[in-house]
Amino acid sequence: MESERKRGADGRFEGLRVNVEDVPRLPTFPARWVLEDPRRRPYFVYWAPENGPAWALKMASAGQDRGVLVTFENGQTQLISVLLRRMPKGAGSSLVYLCPSCESPCRYLYRLSLLGTKLVTAKGLVCQRCAKLRFASQGWYKPAFARGLGPRGRNPWEPRAVSDPRIIAEDIAPIR
């Protein structure tokens, strides 16, 4: 796969690049909420950035520790397996997804994938590698003093999740 990427004279990646930070991602906290909810209610997960398209999905327990069942706006469903990993020193646990495409453990799944020269939603939710996304810092060195500089805060593509969509009716009006 590395050999397919075009490189310039300086050895850096050239060509179309889509950064992980620029696409909607699904962290593990909604899955944890769904699996630990004593009411066994599905959760409504939505992305509503200030600029860009809005996305939404429904996440429910698949039952018997099988993972979560995700339902997209168009009615398609996808079963996503989860794995509970012990933290070092046994101080807790971390929930990770198993990528539906390559079955590798990951903390985030992505809605959009790079197919040729376009971003598409055809694959459903997949990991960063299967979506062919790169990190913004990938391919160049950032000195130690500059790593702390720059904007910090909430990623605009981090979702919100609620167990009752009526709570946020005014926020999701543009999703229709």
For the stretch 73-112, pLDDT in tens is 888 899 999 998 888 887 888 889 999 889 999 999 988 8
Find the angle CA(50)-CA(161)-CA(113) to the nearest 5 degrees.
65
> Is residue 38 classed as helix, strand or coil in its secondary structure?
coil
**Cβ burial, residue 111 (10 Å; 0-12/13-18/19+):** buried
> Contact, 66 vs 78, CB < 8 A?
no
What count of Cα atoms within 13 Å lies in the side-chain half-sphere of residue 68?
Answer: 34
- The model's pTM: 0.73
For the stretch 104-159, pLDDT in tens is 999 999 888 777 777 777 678 998 888 887 766 555 566 666 656 655 545 666 77
Under the banding of pLDDT at 50, 70 and 90, the label for residue 171 is low
> Contact, 127 vs 101, CB < 8 A?
yes
Q: And the tokens for 29?
A: 């906290």
- Rounded to whole angstroms, the Cα distance separating 49 from 156 reads 6
